[in-house]
């Protein structure tokens, strides 16, 4: 599985064709745009930000034209909300066509696990739990402040955000895409994640095996 930026999709399709004896066929199949090479290798292309690809007319014509149309669709201006959390740190924001309109970022100390035993271990565990709860509360408050009444097209999340989204004030927020492993949440990572969310995820299967 690889991630392909929208601007690179046409070139990736060209290279796929060159490496696999040309393209024999391509078609929309469920949520994926499937490309089949003359050598039997298949590629399933999915847009990261949605469950399905755009309307069928985007896939008409030759595969390079389809790639160009999909790229243009992915690069259309959008308002994307981003919520990131990791190890006591969080960053949340709303971006309009890649530009941050509103955001909040914070870091809280959460003690790591200790090898101490007995009462010391219990004391450290209680302290760590208290720090984690306090950090999550700050993240929930920040998420509500930025996203509670904000207008956006899609929400993208990264890291460990389940506890934050359990806040009743945020019950209306439904992520369209999630990235599990992220770096330390910072404002700059909001922009990177929003751009990553409009990329394409491509799964290449040698020999034409089942893509689903």
Helix (H) or strand (E) holding 200: strand 200-205
Closest CA to 161 of 150, 173, 145, 151: 173
Residue 154: CB atoms within 10 A of its CB come to: 18
pLDDT at 31: 74
pLDDT at 32: 83
Alpha carbon of 72 to those of 6, 44, 159, 175, 183: distances in Å? 8, 19, 29, 23, 29
pLDDT at 34: 92
Q: For strands 177-179 and 154-159, give the pairing.
A: parallel
SS3 75: coil
pLDDT tens per residue, range 172-203: 999 999 999 899 999 999 999 999 999 999 99
pLDDT at 166: 95
Q: What are phi and psi of 33, to 5 degrees?
A: -95, 115
Task: Sheet with 200-205: list strands edge to edge.
Answer: 2-4, 200-205, 42-47, 32-37, 23-29
pLDDT at 128: 55
In the chain, which residues have pLDDT < 70?
Answer: 51-52, 109-132, 208-212
pTM given for the model: 0.84
pLDDT at 130: 57
CA 200 to chain centre: 10
What does DSSP assign to residue 103? Answer: E
């Amino acid at each position: 599985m690889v991630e392909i930026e929208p601007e690179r999709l046409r070139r990736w399709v060209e290279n796929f064709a060159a490496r696999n004896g040309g393209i024999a066929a391509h078609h929309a199949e469920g949520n994926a745009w499937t490309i089949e090479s003359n050598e039997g290798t298949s590629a399933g292309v999915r847009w990261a930000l949605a469950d399905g690809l755009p309307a069928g007319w985007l896939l008409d014509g030759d595969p390079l034209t389809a790639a160009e149309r999909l790229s243009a669709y992915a690069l259309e201006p959008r308002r994307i909300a981003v919520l990131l959390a990791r190890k006591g740190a969080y960053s949340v924001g709303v971006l309009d066509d890649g530009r941050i309109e509103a955001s909040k970022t914070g870091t809280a100390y959460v003690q790591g696990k200790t090898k101490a035993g007995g009462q010391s271990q219990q004391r450290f565990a209680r302290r760590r739990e208290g720090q984690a709860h306090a950090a999550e509360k700050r993240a929930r408050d920040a998420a509500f402040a930025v996203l509670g009444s904000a207008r956006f097209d899609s929400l993208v999340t990264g890291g460990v955000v389940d506890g934050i989204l359990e806040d009743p004030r945020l019950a209306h927020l439904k992520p369209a895409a999630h990235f599990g492993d992220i770096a330390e949440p910072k404002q700059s990572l909001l922009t990177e994640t929003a751009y990553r969310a409009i990329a394409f995820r491509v799964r290449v299967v040698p020999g034409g095996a089942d893509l689903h």
